[in-house]
Amino acid sequence: MDHNKIISSIAKEVLSPLGLKRQGKRFWYDDHGWFAIVVEFQPGSSDKGSYLNVGISFMFYENAFWTFDLGYREGSFVSAKSEDQFTGAFRRMVDAAARSVIRYRELAASPVELSDAITKPLTHPGDWGHYHAGILAGLAGRIEDARFHLSLLAQVPCTYAWEHGRRIRCLELLQRLDAPERFRESLLGIVMRCRAARLPAVDSNLTQLP
C-alpha cells in the first residue's frame, strides 16, 4: 500500500475545488494575500499515517517558513494499517480539514473577531499572538488595543537575535499607529516581503489589506 499516494489523491480531490494549492507533498495553502489558511498532513515519527494540522498563517513577519499563528493540531493520528481502512479514515480527516478551512475563512472576514480569537488564549507577554493581535487591532482602528499588545511584547527581555528583531518591529509599528496610512504602508511592505519568502510567485492582486 502506498499511503502517500492515497494522501495526495484524496487531498487533491477535496481541497483543490476549494481553491487550495499544494506546496510540497503534504502541505496545502489557501492564499488570502495578507494571510493564508494552511493545511498540513503531518507524518508520524515512527508509524505510517498522518496527523492533521490546520490554522491561519499571517504574512506579518518576514520568514521563509509557514507558521500556525491561530489553530494547529486537530484530532488524533490516523495510522495506515490497510488500504481500505486508511482510505476511509483519511477521507474523513480531509473532510474535517475542508470544514476548518471554511470556518477560518468566515472568521478572517472580520479583523476584530480574528484579533479577539488570538487574544483569548494568550498567557505570556512574550507570546507571538500579541504581535498578530496588535497588528489586527491596528487594522481595525482599535488603536489602544494595538498599542497594548505591541507595547507588551516590546517590553519582553530579549535573549536571541529573533527576539531583538521582533522588538524593533514592534517599536516601528508603534510609532506609526497614530498615522493609519503610514501604518498600513509599512505593513503592506512587510506582507509583500513575507510573501516573496514563502511563495514561488508574488501576486500583487492579493496584497490588499483589510
Does residue 99 sit in the same domain as residue 127?
no
- Distance CA(194)–CA(110), nearest Å, equals 22
Sheet with 49-58: strands ordered across:
21-22, 27-31, 35-42, 49-58, 70-79
Mean of pLDDT over the chain: 93
pLDDT tops 60 at residue 205: no
Range of the domain at 144: 111-178
* Adjacent-strand bridge partners of 39: 28, 54
CA–CA gap between residue 11 and residue 33 (Å, rounded): 22
16 and 100 part of one domain: yes
With a threshold of 0.85, does the pTM exceed it? yes
pLDDT by residue (tens digit) across 1-24? 788 899 999 999 999 999 999 999
Q: Both 32 and 65 in a single domain?
A: yes
Report the percentage of the chain scoring pLDDT > 70.
Answer: 97
Q: Taking residues 160-171, report their average pLDDT.
A: 97
Query: Are 142 and 103 found together in one domain?
Result: no
Please say which residue of 88, 108, 128 terminates a domain: 108
Residues 97 and 39 placed together within one structural domain of the fold: yes
Beta carbons within 10 angstroms of residue 202's beta carbon: 16
Domain identity same for 46 and 89? yes
How confident is the model over 35-68, as pLDDT tens digits? 999 999 999 888 899 999 999 999 999 999 999 9
- Residue 203 domain-assigned (yes or no): no
pLDDT given at position 206: 58
The answer on pLDDT for 96 being more than 60 is yes
Same domain flag for 102 and 140: no
Q: What is the pLDDT of residue 31?
A: 94
Task: Out of 76-80, 90-94, 111-115, pick the least confident.
Answer: 111-115
* Residue 208 clears pLDDT 80, i.e. is over it: no
Based on the fold, state whether residues 89 and 131 are members of the same structural domain. Answer: no
Whether residues 13 and 102 share a domain: the answer is: yes
pLDDT of residue 123: 85
Q: Are residues 99 and 139 part of one domain?
A: no
Name residue, grid cell 518576514: 62
Considering the domain boundaries, does residue 198 fall inside one? no
Burial profile 174-200: b = 16 or more Cβ within 10 angstroms, e = fewer = bebbeeeeebeebbeebbbebbeebbe
In the 8-state DSSP scheme, what is residue 46? Answer: S
- Give the end of a domain, one of 108, 137, 169: 108
**Number of domain units in the chain:** 2
